Amino acid sequence: MHVLLPDGKRLELSAGATGADVAAAIGPGLARAALGIRVDGRLRDLQSEVDGGATVAILTSRDAEVIELMRHTLAHVLAQAVREHLVAEGAAPGDVRMGIGPTIEHGFYYDFDLPRSLTPDDLEQIEVRMRAIVAADLPLGRFTLPRVEALERYRTQGDPYKTELIEDLPEGETISFYRQGAEEGVGFTDLCRGPHVPRTGVLPPHFKLTTLAGAYWRGDESRPMLQRIYGVAFTSAEALEEHLWRVDEAKRRDHRKLGAELDIFVLDEDIGPGLPLWLPRGAIMVEEIERLAKEVEARGGYQRVRSPHLSKEQLFLKSGHLPYYEHDMFPAMVLDDVKYYVKPMNCPFHHKIFAARPRSYRDLPLRLAEYGTCYRYEDHGALMGLLRVRSMQMNDAHIYCTPEQFEAEFLKVIGLYLEYFELFGIDSYVMRFSKHAPEGLGKKYVDEGELWRSTEDMVRRALVAGDVSFYEADDEAAFYGPKIDVQIKSAIGREFTLATNQVDFVQPGRFDLHYVDEHGERKTPLCIHRAPLSTHERMVGFLIEHYGGDFPLWLAPEQVRIVPIADRHLPYADEVAEALRAVGLRAEVDGGNDRMNAKVRAAELYKVPYIAVVGDKEHDARTVSFRSRREEARNGIDLEAFTSHLREQVATRASNVTPIA
């Protein structure tokens, strides 16, 4: 028998050779360093036999993927530590029962059925025991039993969980176990498919138990609730630190948490899930974003329109939403024997506006824009703060154009995305070209195979011509045409589709849209659907996390808080606020009874970008002394200079601030 090495070399081995044998055959240094193997691309452990002819790579601590083996072994170490911990306080070993213990992203977990509930203190002590097991450098041995014997083993222990797991395996299957420790009864043995590292001593110290949670056995609410312990593990202290920071930061920046603390939005049980209410501070942010969109779109030659939030059924039958999209829509209302639906998209309304007047090629491209609120049925379980909702205020527009205009219009839309990304400092994004799948024609996709192909070709040509970086994905299109999904990653690593840019070759025909071309002939326009600023909900949710609530001045709901040092400075504080408001800045005076420092602290907690403190000196010189989240604190700045400085930041929608001169 032989195996191939990654460099193509052929290595002769005796039958039944294991990964460890392969490593030893290459050299003693590698044999010592080996932690696992990769056989034809699949991760295995050193004890597993290799197949003749396979390509085998020996993995050492230099290979990133061994962390998978380590996390898996750490799950077993955790299980052993939990058993020891509870037995040490008097529990019978048989009362410490276990469910499953897989690896997950960043780490591992294990589910337990224990005689008592664990506490965070327990976690600390369990972690200490885990480190001791690592230090003990226990070897991991693999052995197998016939199914009948494996069942017998757990039945005698009275362990319902492992028994059930084995019962679910096919008759006649040989069952594998891993034992850490030199002999049965010492250390810990677990039903397991592997793979694992060869001994606990090679496990990295860069692990941590993070969370304790309840989890139903096999995810079934009718089965017992087990205690799940989560842990994370990395191969370096830096990676662990970075991860813990990120988790902490994600919690700190979570838009649900900040959205509540900064009074941006609330959800209300009486109104319904996924239907947020915008508090005054959130409404300011929404209106600032809307103002941005309107400015940019006015420059881009868009015209604004407005349409109702509901319509007769026949509109959505015509558009095709009803056959293809009904499961995502709110259900019908029946009025005067006619079904009405709340709109899930704005497009059919814009098509009606296109159709309301005769159009000539001279009117094209016609760009109709609307911040239309749509309603879609998202499953209750999928809802999440502002990021997954049922009411969506969409930065929508539809561009009607001739085929000749398509490429330029399509690239202009891509340009819009890039303009916004720059403004918001979004540098981590991907454009996904989402195409149809031929097997979905007539089901998920309108049944026009040829049109799908030609339109997808047209989009690809435009992307290539525009030198846009993208990748292609099958079976992800809209029902009426291919689309570009723009996926971004937020500052805390949350990835999501911000917005889409869709080509529609179906609806213009269904709505009998046409224009008269240069030769007096009736033609059907193409339609581009686009929403670069996504929905207000998703955009604000994203921006909260992206900025951690520390918004650039133009977006900050309250831009300046003025804090009088004593009550006698209140009139001047009001004067300062008035001067700021006169140029359109959002300024508030804290005229309450708290001490100055408490007021400054309150404004800081609210993440107000500028806090202007005014006392005698400031009053006499008509200045302010400010502290800022955005630049160094300064004293005695001329009120007019301060006002201009802030106004300039707002006018340019600056992210980075040049400190005041």
Q: Interface with a copy of itself by CB under 8 A: which residues?
A: 263, 266, 268, 270-272, 275-280, 282-284, 286-287, 303-312, 314-315, 318, 330-336, 338, 340, 342, 349, 352-353, 356-357, 362, 368, 370, 373, 375, 377, 380, 391, 393, 592
Distance of closest approach, residue 489 Cβ to a copy of itself, in angstroms: 28
Nearer to a copy of itself, 34 or 267 (CB): 267
Distance of closest approach, residue 416 Cβ to a copy of itself, in angstroms: 19
Distance of closest approach, residue 406 Cβ to a copy of itself, in angstroms: 22
Distance of closest approach, residue 410 Cβ to a copy of itself, in angstroms: 22
Distance of closest approach, residue 427 Cβ to a copy of itself, in angstroms: 30
Distance of closest approach, residue 319 Cβ to a copy of itself, in angstroms: 9
3-class secondary structure, 356? coil
Residue 69 CA to residue 183 CA, distance in Å, equals 22
Q: How remote is the C-alpha of 557 from its chain's centroid?
A: 25
Q: Is the peptide bond before 195 cis (omega within 30 degrees of 0)?
A: yes
Residues paired with 370 in a beta bridge: 396
Distance of closest approach, residue 230 Cβ to a copy of itself, in angstroms: 30
Residue 553 CA to residue 649 CA, distance in Å, equals 7
- Classify the phi-psi angles of 295: left when phi > 0, otherwise alpha if psi is within -120 to 50, otherwise beta: alpha
Distance of closest approach, residue 525 Cβ to a copy of itself, in angstroms: 17
Distance of closest approach, residue 302 Cβ to a copy of itself, in angstroms: 9
Distance of closest approach, residue 547 Cβ to a copy of itself, in angstroms: 21
Residue 347 CA to residue 534 CA, distance in Å, equals 15
Pairing, β 366-375 against β 303-304? parallel
The count of residues in the chain is 661
Residue 442 CA to residue 226 CA, distance in Å, equals 46
Return the exposure string of 23-34: e unless at least 16 CB atoms fall within 10 Å of the residue's CB, then b: bbbbeeeebeeb
Nearer to a copy of itself, 88 or 271 (CB): 271
Dihedral, CA of residue 122, residue 125, residue 127 and residue 129, to nearest 10: -130
Nearer to a copy of itself, 305 or 477 (CB): 305
Nearer to a copy of itself, 166 or 577 (CB): 577
Nearer to a copy of itself, 152 or 574 (CB): 574
Long-range contacts of the stretch 150-155 (C-beta < 8 A, 24+): 150/175, 150/177, 150/191, 154/191
Pairing, β 97-98 against β 366-375? unpaired
Cβ–Cβ < 8 Å for 524, 514:
yes
Please enumerate in sequence order all residues whose Cβ is within 8 A of that of 365, keeping only pairs 6 or more positions apart, or say none: 301, 399, 400, 401, 402, 405, 409
Distance of closest approach, residue 393 Cβ to a copy of itself, in angstroms: 8
CA distances from 414 to 420, 449, 502, 506 (A): 10, 26, 11, 22
Nearer to a copy of itself, 303 or 658 (CB): 303
Nearer to a copy of itself, 236 or 652 (CB): 652
Residues paired with 209 in a beta bridge: 231
Cβ–Cβ < 8 Å for 556, 530:
no
Please enumerate in sequence order all residues whose Cβ is within 8 A of that of 36, keeping only pairs 6 or more positions apart, or say none: 19, 43, 44, 45, 46, 59, 65, 66, 69, 195, 197
CA distances from 175 to 123, 148, 567, 628 (A): 31, 9, 79, 64
Nearer to a copy of itself, 315 or 553 (CB): 315
Distance of closest approach, residue 332 Cβ to a copy of itself, in angstroms: 7
Nearer to a copy of itself, 26 or 279 (CB): 279
Nearer to a copy of itself, 206 or 281 (CB): 281
Nearer to a copy of itself, 330 or 429 (CB): 330
Nearer to a copy of itself, 452 or 511 (CB): 511
* Residue 307 backbone dihedrals phi, psi, to 5 degrees: -135, 160
